[in-house]
Amino acid sequence: METLPLLSTAVGLVVTLSVTILSGMKWMLGRVEHRTDARFAEMDARFERMDARFDRMETRTDERFAELGASLMEVKLGLARLEGPHPPFLIARG
């Protein structure tokens, strides 16, 4: 007669403890997921700002290289004018 209340108490204890542990784990995982999502959103915003910054830097760098290429071409042409035309090759190189 005493085994039935003892077994039901044991089963109730196991069920109660398992529900408590599982609900606590669910709560902790929910908090971790919420914090992780917030951090990822923050990092995505930072990456977007950095992408915009790199795009601006890239356009400025392209403009500078275009200016440098034009001025380098002017220097090459001026140097070629100073040197004059090349004399014809009298001896073929081989």
pLDDT (tens digit per residue) in 2-59: 889 899 999 999 999 999 999 999 999 999 999 999 999 999 999 999 999 999 999 9
| Residue 71 clears pLDDT 60, i.e. is over it | yes
Tokens representing 52? 């915009």
Banded pLDDT at 85 (limits 50, 70, 90): confident
pLDDT at 42: 94
What is the CA 79 to chain-centroid distance, rounded? 46
H-run or E-run covering 75:
helix 3-83
